[in-house]
Amino acid sequence: MVRHSLVGYDGSDVSRRAFQFAIDLARCSGGRVRVVSVLQVTEGGTDVSALMIADSGTRRAQELLQELAAVVPDAADMVDVELIYGSPGDVLLSQVEQHGIDHIVIGHTERGALARWLLGSVSGNVLARAHVPVTVVR
């Protein structure tokens, strides 16, 4: 039985559907949902990253809570939210051990071959490396 699902959330339609799926599953099993939004730092050094985290972290976390409440208004008591800077696949997979995750729910958006080659696929990365069941929502 699934007790603690992890959802990778980026604000896209497919990530909202993944969140809704995880909530529905949690309601059936009496579980909880951990929502993680991963922000990638692509340019700048450590100083720039520290300023970004200090300046936007709290504000973005509040925005994330509001977004999730708009998707499922009555689920606040079963949801944990965290905003983390890093590589999405690595961050999501590190959450499994850190928080006792037994199921991952992740959205997948179809991209062309060039985009996949240049940017990679978070869902593909998670599927290849996860040691817990993964549900991919389209």
Q: What local confidence, expressed as pLDDT, does residue 61 receive?
A: 81
* Rg (the chain; Cα; Å): 15
Domain CATH for 9: 3.40.50.620
Between 45 and 125, the higher pLDDT residue: 125
CB 6 within 8 A of CB 34: yes
**The total number of structural domains that make up the chain:** 1
Task: Write out the residue range of the structural domain in which residue 68 sits.
Answer: 4-137
Model pLDDT for residues 43-97, shown as the tens digit of each residue = 655 555 555 555 567 788 888 989 999 999 999 999 999 999 888 999 999 999 9
Long-range contacts of 58-63 (CB under 8 A, 24+ apart): none
CB 115 within 8 A of CB 89: no
Could you tell me the sign of the dihedral formed by the alpha carbons of 50, 52, 53, 54, in that order?
Answer: positive
Model pLDDT for residues 17-40, shown as the tens digit of each residue = 999 999 999 999 999 999 999 887
